[in-house]
Structure 1
Amino acid sequence: MSITQTAPVSSGALWAGRVLSTVIVLFMIFDGTIKLPPLDIVTQTMVQLGWPADPNVARMLGIMGLISTALYALPRTSVLGAILLTAYMGGAIATKVRVDSPLFSHTLFGVYLGIILWAGLFLRDPKLRALIPLTR
């Protein structure tokens, strides 16, 4: 089956994908918006992670996360958004590795989010399922 001939999405898969994607979108909206003012707890945490205590750095990270999230939420740009969010999570993982954070609770949190965001997109996008078939 080619990408232009996609199998219909079952109602259950579509809703599961929407729920998973909504979890990611809501989490990333929260993550991005707390970096915009930025809150004191944000800059304090950034210093602990080896980032400068510069509010502009926090804002830049928040804006990048929010733009990537908006792209992920829009069906026409969802794959681009997923790629950008995956890169964003990779930066978070690298930061956690660098400061020797606990592996399963902190360092791999970005991996967990990445799995959820790609699973949500996979379940709601028939073109992606045709491109990456899990079964033949």
Structure 2
Amino acid sequence: MKATPLVWTGRVLSALFVLFMLFASVMPKFLMPEMARAASPEGVRDATIPLIGAIELVGTLLYAWRRTALLGAVTMTAVLGGAIATHMNAASPLFSHILFGVYLGLIMWGGLWLRDPALRALLPLRRAA
């Protein structure tokens, strides 16, 4: 079965999401802890940063694997929601910090919706007449 441009667009969006999460979010939490501490909003304890990174890693890997992509998307939605709430609590800037989790979530769910025909059937943009 040949993949359509719709599916390829979903794969590209999903790959961008996975690469961003691995290299811009997960990796610094483990390999560059000082940078991760500096980038974390006030109120996030230093001891929780590696745990957050581990949860992000598990969710991202689940999302990347086709059979568990939906579970990974749900897990990452929870993580992104926590990041949004934390930035709201810290009174971070709206468009660059608070809504960044929304932007990532849209890319993540959009990529999954485009690459998974079962999800498109479950959540159609419009109902058939």
TM-score > 0.5, shorter chain as reference: yes
Shift, 1:38, TM fit: 4.4
Q: What corresponds to 2:75 in structure 1?
A: 84
Q: Distance in 2 between matches of 1:120 and 1:49?
A: 32
The answer to whether the aligner puts 1:52 opposite 2:45 as a matched pair is yes
Structure 1, unmatched stretches of 5+, are 1-7
Q: Which has the larger radius of gyration?
A: 1
Identity across aligned pairs (percent)?
A: 47
Shift, 1:52, TM fit: 1.4
The answer to whether the aligner puts 1:34 opposite 2:43 as a matched pair is no
**TM-score, scaled to structure 1:** 0.86
**TM-score, scaled to structure 2:** 0.91
Q: Greater helix share, 1 or 2?
A: 2
State the 4+ residue runs in structure 1 displaced beyond 3 angstroms.
none
Structure 2, unmatched stretches of 5+, are none
Change (3 A) 1:108 1:130: same
Shift, 1:22, TM fit: 0.6
Please, what is the CA RMSD of the aligned residues? 1.6
The answer to whether the aligner puts 1:20 opposite 2:13 as a matched pair is yes
